[in-house]
Amino acid sequence: MSSKRLTLREAVIEAIDLEMAIDPSVVMLGQDIGEFGGPLQSTEGLWERYGNQRIIETPVAEQGVVALGIGMSLNGLRPIIDLMFADFLPLVANELLQLSANLDYMSNGKAKAPFVLRTRGGDGPYRAHPQNMEALLSNVPGLCVVTPGSPAAAKGLMVAAMRSDNPVVYIEPIFLYQGPREEVQSEQYAIELGKAAIPRIGSDVTLVCYGRTVRLMQLAAAKLEKQGIDCEIVDLQTVTPFDRSAVIKSAQKTRRLVVAHDAWKNCGIGAEIVATVVSEVDLLARPIRLAGPDVPTAYATVLRDNSRPTVDNVVEAVSRMLAKT
């Protein structure tokens, strides 16, 4: 089985490329995704292979474009709607939350919209769009929101998203875009939506994470190992609906819980994770949520660098938790 070392960006493009080659109903809609190669080179090479009929550039009209893509998916196509940056999600919230999230249920299965809303967000070397909006999409029932924490997951999740018969919002962490490379299987493969991954099995504490914080937890776990603390990492992969049974199972085993995500703490995904675990599991210590402070995300590097959890935050939180119990 052959594989290549790819960055997250390259892995997503490979998934889309392989799928477009075998499924003519997959098309892309978005700004600058053609010859330009996409913002942050997110569609590099695709236009050269698939041309204007399948890589369709649009005006700067996100609401209209997202709705157009939804309508296209109701008439036989499987569009990947590229929303340039995830902090535009509130702009298209109506189309996502009131239109696409409702279609399957309200029509009693007669109108299904098999589209992917592909976007990219969070802080990173590219600094212009750092805000994280996945919690906004998670309260309203009917949407599936996924975010990969690594190149291999990125490919598999994108394939699953393209093959889903219902809407999937796919958020790429900008921080990981041109980041670490990983061996990614060259064949096309899918990772099941709604299932978490356990990249590290352990017994002392459950570290729940997604997107950029997966890597964070891995770096923290390596440091904690030197202190004799054995961490289990649960990478949600699908943020909504998240894999409740995997999270609960891990928490039941370790009986300690730390959640870390980049988005704001108040009503964030961490809040739902903690509420879920606490209602089913008797923990040995109070659970800890590490997240962005509840302040709009500023630009200056010192302010920006302190707007999200760090490896040290995790190590400190876990050490403290284990010292007490």
Partner 1 sequence: MLVSRFLDTKCFNDFAEWYPAFGEEAVTIGAFGSLIEGDFAVPHYRGSMGVFWLRGMSLEQIIGGLLFKTNSVSLGRLSGLHGGDFTKRILPSVTNVLGPNVSSGTGLAMAEKLKGGKAVTVIAFGDGTAALGTLHETLNMAKIYELPVVYVCQDNQYSISSRSNEFHAWDSLATWAAGYNVPSSRVDGNDILAMRTAIDAGIERARSGGGPTFIDALTFRMGGHLSTDKAQYQSEEEKLTWENKDPIRLLERNMQKDFGIGDQEIAARRASVQTRVLDAWAKVIASESVTLESK
Partner 2 sequence: MENEGQDVYIVAWFKEVGEDISEGDPLLEVMTDKANIEIPSPATGKLVARNFEIDDRVTPGAAMAVIESV
Residue (61 or 275) nearer to partner 1, CB: 61
Choose the one of partner 1, partner 2, none that binds residue 181, judging by a C-beta under 5 to 8 angstroms depending on kind.
partner 2
Choose the one of partner 2, partner 1, none that binds residue 40, judging by a C-beta under 5 to 8 angstroms depending on kind.
partner 2
Give the shortest CB-269-to-partner 1 separation in angstroms.
Answer: 25
Q: In the window 79-138, what residues touch partner 1 (CB under 8 A)?
A: 94-95, 98-99, 102-103, 105-108, 110-111
Question: How far is the C-alpha of 236 from the C-alpha of 141, rounded, in Å?
Answer: 18
Is 261 known to be catalytic?
no
Is 183 known to be catalytic?
no
Residue (35 or 312) nearer to partner 1, CB: 35
Choose the one of partner 2, partner 1, none that binds residue 111, judging by a C-beta under 5 to 8 angstroms depending on kind.
partner 1
Choose the one of partner 2, partner 1, none that binds residue 216, judging by a C-beta under 5 to 8 angstroms depending on kind.
partner 2
Q: Which residues, 6 or more positions from 167, have their beta carbon under 8 angstroms from its beta carbon?
A: 70, 73, 96, 100, 101, 103, 113, 114, 115, 116, 117, 142, 143, 144
Residue (81 or 191) nearer to partner 1, CB: 81
What DSSP letter does each residue of 39-82 carry, written as one string? Answer: GGGTTTTHHHHH-TTTEEE--S-HHHHHHHHHHHHHTT-EEEEE
DSSP state of 87: G
Is the Cβ–Cβ distance between 245 and 195 less than 8 Å? no
Choose the one of partner 2, partner 1, none that binds residue 124, judging by a C-beta under 5 to 8 angstroms depending on kind.
partner 2
Asked if 64 interacts with partner 1 (CB under 8 A), we say yes
Strand-pairing partners, residue 144, are 168
Catalytic residue among 10, 14, 95, 129: 129
CA nearest to 17, candidates 158, 185, 123? 158
**E strands, the chain, where?**
3-6, 26-30, 55-57, 78-83, 116-121, 144-146, 168-173, 182-185, 197-200, 205-209, 231-235, 238-240, 257-264, 288-292
Choose the one of partner 1, partner 2, none that binds residue 293, judging by a C-beta under 5 to 8 angstroms depending on kind.
none
* Residue labelled with tokens 């299965």: 109
DSSP state of 315: H
Residue (109 or 180) nearer to partner 2, CB: 180
Asked if 140 interacts with partner 1 (CB under 8 A), we say no
Instruction: Count interface residues toward partner 1 (CB under 8 A).
Output: 32
Asked if 165 interacts with partner 1 (CB under 8 A), we say no
Give the shortest CB-70-to-partner 2 separation in angstroms.
Answer: 30
Residue (144 or 184) nearer to partner 1, CB: 144
Footprint of partner 2 (CB under 8 A): 7, 40-41, 124-127, 174-175, 177-181, 215-216, 219, 301, 305, 311
Residue 1, token pair as written in the block: 């089985």
Residue 137 identity: L
Is the Cβ–Cβ distance between 214 and 173 less than 8 Å? no
Question: Which one among 8, 18, 28, 67 touches partner 1, defined by CB under 8 A?
Answer: 67
CA nearest to 212, candidates 169, 261, 257? 261
Active site residues: 62, 129
| Residues in touch with partner 1 (CB under 8 A) | 27, 53, 56, 58-59, 61, 63-65, 67-77, 94-95, 98-99, 102-103, 105-108, 110-111
